[in-house]
Chains A and B, each alone.
Chain A
């Protein structure tokens, strides 16, 4: 009996092994059979001139599904269900994206995935994440050039040469960056507001006599007055703190203060004479922003719970208008929070934007570089059919794909008005008043995630903002006057490569700073604040921060070089 069972087991195992072998053979075959067809079509294309704009993705629109990991566990709106934009993409190309998010910490998830080699077919990952080099150097991803040449040769001409130059590593393009903005971005499109603005609750502002809030001291006084009149309200609300996610400011809301206290931060960090790019924590103005937060705390104006809140906890309170002054991404405030507050609590409690704050007599300056990209679209070697995926990317990148993702079908979800697309009125209303429903029902902007710069939709976005959201447009105008072009400073992508010892040091510095922020903010006296700060600098030097600062200087030079500025 036992022997028989063993035999059965062995037979089963052999069968499994054989099957596995078969399937991998099969996928190889598919891949290689996919190979010749584009080359034959390419030769056909060279024969027939009119074929020139015939894109490769149209050759095969049979049902196809590939998996994708999206780095950002907050991105539940991006998961493909049956939103309009997703259905439209599937209808046209046959492709369904099985997009997945990390269940816990993203870095944790990503590292485990890389270590086990168990990758999805494609990955959307911030192009400047330290793990990118790991993926490339260990040969875990295809280069775009290779796949484009093989499966979609005409795709190459659709890519912006400047973008290809900036994003190539070792002469090859390894990912397609989304949100790569072209040079004219600073002057066209929606006004850029590169900070999380701070807002004040309208009724509170009126109740304290609508004082002028132009400087950081004005803000402090306004908050004191608000606290006196509304003792139950929490005076200041900031987004969650986590240095490894949000950068050295700790919370994205801090940039508003940092750019006031240290308007020349980026320039000051570069020390050409010592050949280093300093950590911002060495900058006096940068630290003054935290000193200010500490003063808020000591005056009872800052709730220390914010230091340990999750973003959701903060947002829940914001929906309830529980803060006198709160910070939030501009568009979210005007299309999500304010409408919700208006409908559940009352229009008087909605938030109004604050002007940029002067500190020490200086105007703030907001670094408003055009974006060099947000995430890269990677195709991994695990992909069963990389050809279909690159062709899907081609579709997404094309004007048609962009319009499908952003606006849907003409006549059905949008109309052309004065040569620019515009949502049907009911869709526009949903987008403005109830963004969550808009995401769940239409999923515009969320389907392929390969946003590309284009005059048509940039102009349409600018017009729409002006027309249908005058309040947000004015707010953006108000703050964007402090913008300066930081593109030429070469301060993009300064994080040391994940496989180097400097990356380890950088991690330690991040960890130290993450622990130090609460201690600074909760200091009971100036002496304590200075002690904590000096201790931090000492520890940071001990772990070898200077080595990273040297590497950051090299990366700074690289950035300048890639942009063709040096």
Chain B
């Protein structure tokens, strides 16, 4: 190991790499850090006319109101319910799909399935929710009719207006929409596994299941863990587009997650400070969760994001 180089020398040596990353750094500064200046309004009673400088300071009043607000507590618990359900069902789904696809021998079939499963990713939520209303219509919906025939629901059930069905619908549609897209990363990782490992396993007499269990999955572990940490960070930011579009006055109680609440308070009611406080709280929780997940993973498996 050579003697420690001076900082300037290090920078000089890495100058091309640094220039390469510069645009990204500027972009992040400009669009992620500079706007954070606006966060000071959570400590103000902000009105756009008085601006950041002249709006009166109110200290922690917004947060005090936040924690006293029953709707906020409801939206917090909804957020966690929704996100945990999405994590539990949505996270393993693409891994399983990738493993299944990988076992397919008939290449053309594999490609068709892969394309078909990731197509929904490109359909906007507006359309997906439109489909849902049509397919789940109590009188004419195809899926409703199917479920009635199967004896799973009563005739005339309005699934889109049922607060109890909301969570399940949100999770199912989210998995359906994202499963193909998310499996691409795993498929790529699987493609990178050294074929010699499989050949050796075959020689040792491992069957298909054992090969998946002892070779494919362990090789995927780093990818899985990194993606898991990232999704834990996203736990509190339950998909706004989807839930906002799916909600209606009958399912409001179930659909009211932090992001929706922040939007309603900030933009619809024009209470910018309060809405921002909700958003800031959300980010804070996300940060803590991700940090804890990262730390735990580093201790247990030596894999970590940072």
Residues of chain A having any CB pair with chain B under 8 Å: 105, 107-108, 111-112, 114-117, 131, 134, 138-140, 241-242, 304-305, 307-308, 498-499, 504, 507-508, 511, 514-515, 517-518, 522, 539, 542
Contact = CB atoms under 8 A, between A and B. Distances in A.
A388 B70 CA distance: 51
A112 B268 CA distance: 9
A248 B18 CA distance: 61
B49 A138 contact: yes
Contact of B48 (A107, A115, A139, A507): A115
Interface in B94-147: 137-138
Contacts of B49: 117, 138-140
A107 B252 contact: no
B271 A504 contact: yes
A111 B250 CA distance: 26
A419 B290 CA distance: 79
Contacts of A305: 137-138, 158, 161
Interface residues of B, number: 22
Given A108-B268, A498-B270, A307 B161 contact: yes
A517 B253 CA distance: 13
B248 A308 contact: yes
B270 A115 contact: yes
A511 B70 CA distance: 13
Nearest to B138: A305
Contacts of A514: 249, 252
Contacts, number: 63
B269 A504 contact: yes
Nearest to A107: B268
A507 B275 CA distance: 14
B153 interface: no
Given A116-B48, A242-B249, A515-B253, A308 B160 contact: yes
Given A116-B48, A117-B48, A307-B161, A518 B268 contact: no
Given A307-B161, A517-B249, A114 B270 contact: yes
Contact of B269 (A112, A307, A507): A507
Interface in B251-276: 252-253, 264, 267-272
A385 B190 CA distance: 66
B231 interface: no
A304 B154 CA distance: 15
Q: Which DSSP category, helix, strand, loop or mixed, fits chain A's interface?
A: helix
A515 B161 contact: no
A116 B49 CA distance: 9
Contacts of A518: 161, 249-250
A518 to B, nearest CB: 4
Contacts of A108: 267-268
Given A308-B248, A515-B253, A518-B250, A105 B268 contact: yes
Nearest to A300: B156
B267 A515 contact: no
Interface string B58-80: 00000000000011000000000
A209 B271 CA distance: 56
Interface string B220-249: 000000000000000000000000000011
B269 A515 contact: no
Contacts of A308: 160-161, 248-250
A229 to B, nearest CB: 19
Nearest to B251: A308
B47 interface: yes
In the A-B complex, the 7 residue pairs with the closest CB atoms: A308-B248, A111-B270, A138-B49, A115-B48, A518-B250, A515-B252, A507-B269
Contact of A111 (B71, B253, B268): B268
Contacts of A105: 268
Contacts of B264: 511
A514 to B, nearest CB: 6
Residue among B138, B248, B267, B268 facing the most chain A CB atoms (10 A cut-off):
B268
A539 B70 contact: yes
